[in-house]
């Protein structure tokens, strides 16, 4: 009998049980939307409780491998789950109006959100390349469907199709990388790969290195690192507004969570090789993301390209290897909360299931909806890396790690891009507060309806961005403080 | 293993080919040939074919086919369990029971959801069931 530790997979089990419960209750009882809300809330609570239990187990010196070495319970896995749970709760609140509007297909939408969260959580806990792939597919396939869940929207169909095709392509590259790594080392388990590389001096490591590169490329697609980012703007623009924040944040957290395990554990021996590779991808992402974001006329496309740049900043920190893990976690946690907050404001502007959101719609938002405009402005300022916000501390840690790791040129590229990025982040702020909105032929001061769920997301996101920006202590060094 | 060990396989291969070939050739040579339209049909028995198969099918076939593929692939996992049945013991039985329950749950969902109904009426009834949601969907 293989070693089974139910605790090490408990959060995912709770979420999947919740998804099953939502579907079954829906077909047998045909309940009103709020019943789905209760079940979802119960699933999130149970998952949260399991994460707390995991953290206690870790504090008591427990954890380690289970399920035949496929899953690991370490501080990184537990912390990533906590981040994803927060993202999922915020994303569900943000998407609730859109989901409730799906009518009889609402249960499908809710359960897809739950399953996607479970899949990406599993990515953070997997230490076997096969398991990483399965987790990746669980999460990604749910997201492909979510992108096109509003059937009346042609833009949503286009987004889902593009996301599916490029995502499947990325998955194929990833699994091919896994196959080559297996061919070179004889193992798919990351700890076995690490042991093999430590025990044997590989005379011709070409196969292993190519496999490693393909694994990085496959994950690069998921985290929208350049030059593998081309799907992101179209998908963010076309998918229903409510779920875009969740899609973007969850995929990014899941992708980085897996990449950290793959590179920091499995291929730690080849850090010299992958650091250089990551540095090139990071520089490309930062520069391309920033430059392309400047030319956008749609807020969602702008946020997509800014996400490319942020993937670049995260990769900048990753070049330093294991010491950067704490900073990565901080950046992932705070950036995903910012991102969901920004997309909550986008949802308020373009409607729960809307596609596209041109800059013109944001003219005069400061008067139409002070809360949405204020939070959107705050997240823009935080994303640009202004001090007293979490964006500054996250970016600072990434640059500090890269500098210590000897990638001074990368830090300089990142700093230059950060300065250029102020232009497009602040352009939106200026548009919201200092440009009147009468060109659209509607009342410029007509208040924008702000559903209470979206208001919560906005306020939470703003609070996290400010509080941890001024007082980052509780979130810093979480991994070493178990 | 010597090459000569493969000789029985070669002999078997030759014998099988010869038997099939000789049967076909002999029956072609000595048989009567009185073709009728029915005999030239692809299937001699069963329902009379009305049209060429290259045409448009109802999309319902697609749904049933895709569900079949899903369940078929899921059941394949049971073979993996069956091959190490003894080693896994009761824990394995418990795990497979959970797995099977998940499949049954899926079946229950698609059934109740109306995916297995060939007639559209039932699915239409599901759509009409809660008036508030139907109205919401119309609005969306």
| DSSP-assigned states of every residue in A275-299 | HHHHHHHHHHHHHHHHHHHHT-SBH
Whole-angstrom distance, CA of residue A80 vs CA of residue B15? 65
| DSSP assignment of A123-190 | HHHB-BHHHHHHHHHHHHHHHHHHHT--TT-HHHHHHHHHHHHHHHHHHHHHHHHHHHHHHHHS--BH
Binary contact (A353, B140; C-beta < 8 A): yes
A268 is written with which tokens?
């730690």
User: For the CA atoms of chain A, what is the radius of gyration?
Assistant: 21
**Which of A29, A97, A103, A141 to substitute to test the interface with B, most B CBs within 10 Å?**
A103
Q: How far is CA A389 from the centre of its chain?
A: 19
Structural domain includes residue A1? no
H helices within A223-324, ranges in order?
231-238, 241-261, 271-294, 299-318
Model confidence at B140, in pLDDT bands (50, 70, 90)? very low
pTM: 0.86
Binary contact (B105, A106; C-beta < 8 A): no
pLDDT (average), residues A10-17: 95
Query: Structural domain tally of chain A?
Result: 1
To the nearest whole Å, the CA of B116 is away from the closest chain A CA by: 14
To the nearest whole Å, the CA of B19 is away from the closest chain A CA by: 44
The 10s digit of each residue's pLDDT in A136-179 is 999 999 999 999 999 888 899 999 999 999 999 999 999 999 99
Nearest CB neighbour to A1, from listed B88, B129, B139: B88
Residue with tokens 């950290």: A260
Binary contact (B109, A104; C-beta < 8 A): no
| Phi and psi torsions of B98, nearest 5° | -60, -45
To the nearest whole Å, the CA of B1 is away from the closest chain A CA by: 28
Cβ pair A390, A398 in contact under 8 A: no
CB-based contact (8 Å) between B47 and chain A?
Answer: no
Structural domain includes residue A424? yes
**Which of B109, B123, B129, B139 to substitute to test the interface with A, most A CBs within 10 Å?**
B109
Whole-angstrom distance, CA of residue A8 vs CA of residue A121? 11
Average pLDDT over all residues of chain A: 92
**Which of A2, A27, A35, A108 to substitute to test the interface with B, most B CBs within 10 Å?**
A27
Higher pLDDT, A118 or A351: A118
Binary contact (A27, B113; C-beta < 8 A): yes
Q: Residues A191-215, buried b or exposed e (16+ Cβ, 10 A)?
A: bbbbebbeeeeeeebeebbbbbbbb
Q: Please report residues of B whose CB lies closer than 8 A to that of A100.
A: 136
Residue with tokens 């000595």: B30
Least confident of A115-129, A276-290, A381-395, A465-479: A465-479
A408 is written with which tokens?
């001074």
Over pLDDT 90: what percentage of chain A? 77
The β-bridge partners of A65 are A72
User: For the CA atoms of chain B, what is the radius of gyration?
Assistant: 27
Determine the structural domain holding residue A400 and report its residue range.
6-481
Select, from the ranges A102-106, A341-345, B101-105, the one with the highest average predicted confidence (pLDDT).
A341-345
Positive or negative CA dihedral for A308, A313, A318, A320? positive
Please compute, for residue B13, the number of CA atoms within 13 A of its CA located in the half-sphere on the CB side.
5
The β-bridge partners of A358 are A298
Whole-angstrom distance, CA of residue A56 vs CA of residue A189? 26
Q: Please report residues of A whose CB lies closer than 8 A to that of B131.
A: none
Q: Specify the DSSP class assigned to residue B58.
A: P
Nearest CB neighbour to B127, from listed A23, A28, A104: A104
Q: Please report residues of A whose CB lies closer than 8 A to that of B113.
A: 27
Q: Please report residues of B whose CB lies closer than 8 A to that of A28.
A: 112
pLDDT on residue A244 = 94
pLDDT on residue B128 = 47
Q: A66: helix, coil or strand? A: strand
Higher pLDDT, A395 or A437: A395
Model confidence at A279, in pLDDT bands (50, 70, 90)? very high
pLDDT on residue A474 = 84
Whole-angstrom distance, CA of residue A264 vs CA of residue A239? 34
CB-based contact (8 Å) between B134 and chain A?
Answer: yes
**How many residues in total does chain B contain?**
140
Q: Please report residues of A whose CB lies closer than 8 A to that of B137.
A: 101-104
Cβ pair A317, A402 in contact under 8 A: yes
Taking an 8 Å Cβ-Cβ cutoff, which residues of chain A contact chain B?
Answer: 1, 4, 20, 23-24, 27-28, 30, 32-33, 100-104, 106, 150, 152, 353
The 10s digit of each residue's pLDDT in A222-255 is 999 989 999 999 999 999 998 999 999 999 999 9
Nearest CB neighbour to B133, from listed A4, A20, A103: A103
Structural domain includes residue A261? yes
Q: Specify the DSSP class assigned to residue A126.
A: B
Domains recognised in chain B with CATH numbers: 59-139 (1.20.58)
To the nearest whole Å, the CA of B55 is away from the closest chain A CA by: 26
Whole-angstrom distance, CA of residue A184 vs CA of residue B133? 56
A387 is written with which tokens?
């001090």
What lies within 8 Å, CB to CB, of A272 at 6+ separation is none
CB-based contact (8 Å) between B98 and chain A?
Answer: no
CB-based contact (8 Å) between B137 and chain A?
Answer: yes
A273 is written with which tokens?
């090789």
Q: Which of A118, A356, A98, A410 has the alpha carbon at shortest distance from A238?
A: A356
Nearest CB neighbour to A104, from listed B91, B108, B137: B137
Count of C-beta atoms within a 10 Å radius of residue A425: 22
Q: Which of A282, A321, A464 has the alpha carbon at shortest distance from A405?
A: A321
Model confidence at B1, in pLDDT bands (50, 70, 90)? low
């Amino acid at each position: 009998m293989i070693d089974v530790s139910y605790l090490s997979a408990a959060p995912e089990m709770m979420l999947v049980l919740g998804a099953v419960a939502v579907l079954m209750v829906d077909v047998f009882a045909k309940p009103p939307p709020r019943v789905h809300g209760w079940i979802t809330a119960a699933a999130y609570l149970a998952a949260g409780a399991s994460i707390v239990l995991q953290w206690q187990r870790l504090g008591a010196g427990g954890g380690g491998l289970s399920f035949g070495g496929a899953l690991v319970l370490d501080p990184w896995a537990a912390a990533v789950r906590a981040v994803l749970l927060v993202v999922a709760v915020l994303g569900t609140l943000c998407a609730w109006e859109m989901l409730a509007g799906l009518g009889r297909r609402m249960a499908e939408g809710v359960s897809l959100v739950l399953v996607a969260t479970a899949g990406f959580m599993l990515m953070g806990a997997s230490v076997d390349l096969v398991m990483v792939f399965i987790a990746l597919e669980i999460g990604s396939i749910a997201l492909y469907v979510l992108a096109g869940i509003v059937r009346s929207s042609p833009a949503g169909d286009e987004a889902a199709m593009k996301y599916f095709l490029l995502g499947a392509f990325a998955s194929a590259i990833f699994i091919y990388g896994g196959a080559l790594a297996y061919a070179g080392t004889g193992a798919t388990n990351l700890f076995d790969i690490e042991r093999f590389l430590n025990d044997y001096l590989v005379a011709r490591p070409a196969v292993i290195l190519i496999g490693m590169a393909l694994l990085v490329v496959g994950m690069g697609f998921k985290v929208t690192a350049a030059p593998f980012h081309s799907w992101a703007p179209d998908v963010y623009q076309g998918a229903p507004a409510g779920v875009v924040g969740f899609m973007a944040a969850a995929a990014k957290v899941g992708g980085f969570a897996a990449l950290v395990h793959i590179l920091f554990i499995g291929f730690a021996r080849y850090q010299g090789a992958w650091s250089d590779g990551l540095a090139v991808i990071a520089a490309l992402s930062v520069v391309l993301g920033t430059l392309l974001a400047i030319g956008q006329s749609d807020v969602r496309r702008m946020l997509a390209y800014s996400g490319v740049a942020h993937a670049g900043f995260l990769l900048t920190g990753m070049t330093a290897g294991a010491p950067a893990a704490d900073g990565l976690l901080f950046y992932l946690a705070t950036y995903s909360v910012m991102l969901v907050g920004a997309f909550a404001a986008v949802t308020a502007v373009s409607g729960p299931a809307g596609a596209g959101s041109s800059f013109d719609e944001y003219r005069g938002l400061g008067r139409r909806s002070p809360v949405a405009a204020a939070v959107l402005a705050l997240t823009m300022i935080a994303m640009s890396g202004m001090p007293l916000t979490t964006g500054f501390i996250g970016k600072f840690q990434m640059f500090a790690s890269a500098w210590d790791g000897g990638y001074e040129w990368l830090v300089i590229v990142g700093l230059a891009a950060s300065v250029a990025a102020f232009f497009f982040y602040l352009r939106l702020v200026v548009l919201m507060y200092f440009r009147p909105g009468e060109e659209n032929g509607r009342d410029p001061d007509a208040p924008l309806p702000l559903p209470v769920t979206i208001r919560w997301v906005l306020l939470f996101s703003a609070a996290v961005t400010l509080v941890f920006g001024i007082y980052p202590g509780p979130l810093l060094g979480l991994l070493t403080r178990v | 293993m010597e090459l000569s060990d493969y000789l029985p396989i070669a002999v078997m291969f030759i014998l099988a080919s010869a038997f099939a070939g000789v049967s076909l050739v002999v029956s072609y040579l000595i048989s009567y040939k009185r073709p009728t339209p029915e005999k030239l049909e692809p299937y001699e028995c069963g329902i009379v074919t009305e049209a060429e198969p290259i045409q448009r099918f109802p999309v319902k076939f697609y749904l049933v086919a895709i569900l079949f593929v899903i369940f078929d692939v899921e059941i394949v996992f049971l073979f993996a369990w069956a091959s190490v049945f003894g080693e896994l013991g009761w824990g394995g039985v418990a795990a497979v029971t959970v797995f099977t329950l998940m499949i049954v749950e899926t079946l229950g969902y698609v059934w109740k959801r109306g995916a297995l109904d060939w007639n559209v009426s039932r699915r239409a009834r599901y759509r009409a069931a809660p008036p508030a949601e139907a109205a919401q969907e119309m609005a969306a």
